[in-house]
Structure 1
Amino acid sequence: MNIQRLILRDFRNLHACDLELTEGVHILCGENGQGKTNLLESIYILSNLSSFRSAHLKDLILYGATYGRILGRIRSGGVQKELMVFIREGGKIVKVNGHAVGRGVDYFGEFAALLFSPDSLKWVQGGPEFRRRFMDTAISRIDRNYLLQLKEYKRVLYQRNRLLRLIHESKAPRETLKAWNEQLVQTGSRILEKRLDYLRDLAPVLREVFKAFFQKAAEIRIQYHSSWFRIPKLNGAMADLSVWTGRFRQGIEQKEDEEVRQRTGLIGPHLDDLDFLVDGRPLKPGSSRGEMRMFAISLTLSEAKLYRNKKRRFPVLLLDDVTSELDRKRQEILCKQIESLGQVFLTTTDDSFVGKMKSCARIFQVQKGEIILVT
């Protein structure tokens, strides 16, 4: 999977950009604030229909312009297609091959772009919601049905929480919970099953990438923490779906009185968490920043490799400020890793790193919103 051509109009500070692109590594160099990350952001939006930097669409439009536009010509599995995101203050219009797409869920998966940015450290040092988002986004890229299951789970959770409040206020009978309990159990158990399957497949890939960066073998484990029962180690055969369903149902029955008192659901995959363990030691905020950064980079590269294993093609990889805080040795390892990962876009202000990559990458200079091919 790769972008063959990217056309931007009035996106951030990129007024008029038209790039012919190839397979391999593309390095965007230049001073901070010139537009390097803006280019990555445009590709990310083309994949995910949301920004990793702003929740407000109007922030994406060049100051003084009335709209912004991102157009990408994509080749995936031998098929070419044209994706377009038209951004205006009141919303966005999304098209595939000229045909409008009504729902984001129908678009997701048309084009996969994975991102590492400084915020990716939150996968390790942030709260549980960041690790859940990492899992759910990664799985949804591979399995669109999982995205539909997430949407259904959130709908059921919302309706059930609303009912819990009504029961607490004596405005609804408790018997009405039964149907919603069962819907939550069924959808939540399927989400848990797919999360565990994905993490079991991710762990050995992560182990190999981690070994390459740290030049040593280490026991890398991912420990899943369920909000309703203990999950065994993620290796070998996992329990049948009926086991998760039964335990979830039992947990809801045990917690029902407390949930009514607190007027909210207290168990379910929306409250679950992960631990990443290296030689039995969890990576937590007490770990060094360098160690956490390398682990977050390793997670991104491992996700890309696992996507390749599942879909038989690489996603596009976006690496924002990835060389920051890496010593020369690890920069060299990073170079070797990304050379074989399909189409990669990388931003940096490090001239020495750019010099090392000249022989195996296309170099673009970014200055005041202008993007110029150097080599």
Structure 2
Amino acid sequence: MNIFSANSSANSLFQKIEQVRRRRSKVHDTNITLAHGSGGKAMRDLIDDIFVSNFDNPILSQLEDQATFNLASLMQQGDRLAFTTDSYVVDPLFFPGGDIGELAVNGTINDLAVSGAKPLYLTCSVILEEGLPIETLRRVATSMQAAAKKAGIQIVTGDTKVVHRGAADKLFINTTGIGVIRPGIAISAHNIQPTDVVIINGELGNHGTAILIARGELALETDIESDCQPLHDLVETILDICPEIHAMRDATRGGLATVLNEFALSSNVAIRINEQSIPIREEVKGVCEILGLDPLYLANEGKLVVVVGRENADKVLSAMQSHPAGKNSCIIGEVISSPPGIVLLKTIFGAERIVDMLVGDQLPRIC
């Protein structure tokens, strides 16, 4: 027997075995079971069929316990890393204008973007309740990949856990994001100074209102959709025209009021906003009046608050209005020196009132 021929046959056999082992599996169950979190074949089938098939990219396809990156490549795009993590427990999972998967991708992208970072990679970890329909999970994963592809980023690693029926509410998602910040960008709430101008990129409160209506607990009908969208391209447009942005934040839970209070406290300044300048849909105002809510505290998932020096305000506003995600941008207020740490609202009647930090929660499980 020729030993080389035998070795060749053995290698060929091993290659075929490896090809079979690496062939993607299919999940045949209709609902999540505890076995899908056990680490065995059922879990491998679920990961292959739902996540790997959707998120497929060269980094993820290695299927290691971690994703690895080329540092030299990252350094060509910036001189600092931005790193963030967030969890999503929104109820319901699907709502007008989006779903928990799209929300998880865009929300983490936006947390990176407001630092001036270019988002590059995301992780995806899911906690699944026993009994969740497989097709619901597949729909969410497909939505996540569509959002990631649209934003030009990759989902490169993740984790799956299953808990007993009743120990969670259907599906929770955690995403972690990594991005790079180009040289010369130093965005921070501590940079805010008196005479700065406050700009937002459109209508407030649409996401919170859409979620509220989607829960079906109220006999209300509107065509309001969530404003869920990625903001990194809009941020890049802003920074291209004005790298000297002082502060930037997306107004999610707690809404515009909470962001402005955080800004005022961080820089020990006061911020005055004009009620007549704040864009809010009449339908949102109507829902808030019926339920006793304040639209300034309603959550958003595609709204950007920008603070910039007065000398750059007009060109920043023009750049924002030229972008699809900022076509309704407007100046809503200014930074003043006192009273420090306070946000003031000039009402439509000409009076002023304090806009305090949100106490409690107007609407839980909003994102």
Q: TM-score, normalised by structure 1?
A: 0.26
Structure with more relative contact order (C-alpha pairs < 8 Å, separation 6 or more): 1
Normalized per residue, the structure richer in helix is 1
Q: Which has the higher Rg, Structure 1 or Structure 2?
A: 2
